[in-house]
Amino acid sequence: MDNYKPAPTPFSVHFKSTTDSHIPFTDPLLYCKIIGSLQYLTITCPDIAFTTNFLCQSMHQPLNIHFQKLKRLLRYIKGTTAYGLPIPHGDLILRSYSDVDWASDSSDRKSTTGYCSYLGNTLISWSVKKQPIVAK
């Protein structure tokens, strides 16, 4: 795939289906090997996590259309090799922090919660949510 043009996005909803798109892929072992490698890549490239997960759901019986989508993901990766989360050498200690703000916004009385996790000095996971307080 060296001569292929990089894709701007990892996944396309408007995918052109051909007549053989719904035929089983001829080499399912190759499909599984590539998907398995991509699962490891999602650790440092979270932008491909959704598409990789979507393609993993068809590992038991991949069709030609799944392989076409896999090739698009590989084209996206080809164009984004400079992107990703750097994990520098050093102590790979996992640290997580969390915080909550219980209904301090007087306009809507919603709580804000969040967390972040670091592997060494690299941020690897985070979330912030604003939720209403549920009375029990």
Q: Give the pLDDT band of residue 124 (cuts 50, 70, 90).
A: confident
Mean pLDDT of the chain: 85
30 has a pLDDT exceeding 90: yes
DSSP string, 70-127: HHHHHHHHHHTTT-S----SS---EEEEEEEE-S--TTT-EEEEEEEEEETTEEEEEE
Torsion of CA 53, 58, 80, 13, to 10 degrees: -90
The two tokens of residue 40 are: 């490891």
Half-sphere exposure of 127 (CA within 13 A, CB side): 7
Instruction: Check pLDDT > 70 for residue 68.
Output: yes
Which one is predicted more confidently, 2 or 17?
2
CA distance 50 to 59: 15
- Of 70, 77, 65, 115, the C-alpha closest to 95 is 115
Q: Whole-angstrom Cα distance, residue 118 to residue 124?
A: 6
Say whether 56 sits in a helix, a strand or coil. helix
Q: What is the pLDDT of residues 37-51, one digit of tens each?
A: 999 888 788 889 999
Residue 10, SS3 per DSSP: coil
Alpha-carbon distance of 21 to 92, in angstroms, equals: 44
Chain segment 50-60, per-residue pLDDT in tens: 999 999 999 99
